Amino acid sequence: MAQSHISFEVSFVEPQAHYVEVSMLLKGNHQPQIDVKMPVWAPGSYLVREFAKNVEGFKAIDGKGQALASQKVNKSTWRIQNPKKSDIRISYRVYAFEISVRTSFVDASHAFLSPTGIFMYPAGQLAKPSTVTIKPFASWSKVSTGLSPVKPGAFTYTVPNFDILFDSPIEVGNQDVFEFTAAGVRHEVAMYGGGNYNAEKLKVDMAKIVEQTTKVFGENPNKYLLCTIMHRVVVV
């Protein structure tokens, strides 16, 4: 099977309406047709999930901007016809207005993205690397994620495979951010929603938890971790 160079761009045209805009570019994938799929799982959540139900406005064009025929062939798979075997750009939007440990939430103040409900993947290519570019809404200035930035301060990230992407939540907005190091790993904490927390005390207490957990497992294989705290806690 031919392999694709995959990149995503995520933007927020109408965050007040709870939508995420996604553009997916497949370069070098010269098959006459290709299936793209939305996951039906979430890391650590062992049930079939229906993330595709929130997808709207699915479209595909070729490298010259010409529309390509596409059809939803099952609840989580879209089949794109590519007769000229060109690059393919896919666009769709995701409705995101549910707060839980496995779902995405967007409003005028911020976006929390749970990637399994946001990013599609080409069938058979879960091991393929990709890049993800986040374009914050005009009044937002920060992106917090465990993904590796292409360069410091940039909002473009490299992803070694889709398993890593699907296990890397993304917070976009004006969240408070602080860091601490524990078990040799740099941790970033993104706090949304304010509160009377003491950041310096949290650094000490959270580091103790990480150190003890690392002792239990015998190692900490991570290079960098993000913890996003709002109405819930998500650790990756």
pLDDT mean values, one per 10 residues, the chain (236 residues): 80 98 94 96 89 98 96 98 95 96 94 97 96 98 94 92 96 95 94 89 96 95 78 40
Domain end residue (candidates: 146, 173, 200) = 173
Phi-psi category of residue 149: left, alpha or beta, with phi > 0 → left and psi -120 to 50 → alpha:
beta
Secondary structure of 165-190 in HEC code, one letter for each residue? HHCCCEEEECCEEEEEEECCEEEEEE
Residues 65 and 105 in one domain: yes
Exposure string of 205-226, with b = 16+ CB inside 10 Å and e = fewer, is: ebeeebeeebeeeeebeeeebb
Residues 23 and 137 in one domain: yes
The per-residue pLDDT for 230 is 59
**Which structural domain, as residue segments, surrounds residue 95?**
5-173
Per-residue tokens: 116: 């399994």
User: Strands, E, within 15-126: which ranges?
Assistant: 19-27, 33-37, 55-62, 70-74, 77-81, 88-95, 105-107, 110-113, 121-122
Residues 47 and 163 in one domain: yes
**What length does the chain have?**
236
CA atoms of 48 and 81, how far apart (whole Å): 28
Burial class (CB in 10 A: 0-12, 13-18, 19+), 22: buried
Residues 20 and 120 in one domain: yes
Q: What is the DSSP letter of 227?
A: E
Residues 67 and 21 in one domain: yes
Residues 161 and 191 in one domain: no
Q: What is the DSSP letter of 193?
A: S
Residues 18 and 127 in one domain: yes
Contact 223, 177 (CB under 8 A): no
CATH number of the domain at 113, please.
2.60.40.3650
Domains contained in the chain, number: 2
The per-residue pLDDT for 94 is 98
Residues 135 and 191 in one domain: no
Residues 52 and 166 in one domain: yes
CA atoms of 136 and 170, how far apart (whole Å): 11
Residues 139 and 225 in one domain: no
Contact 5, 129 (CB under 8 A): no
pTM: 0.91
Residues 18 and 54 in one domain: yes
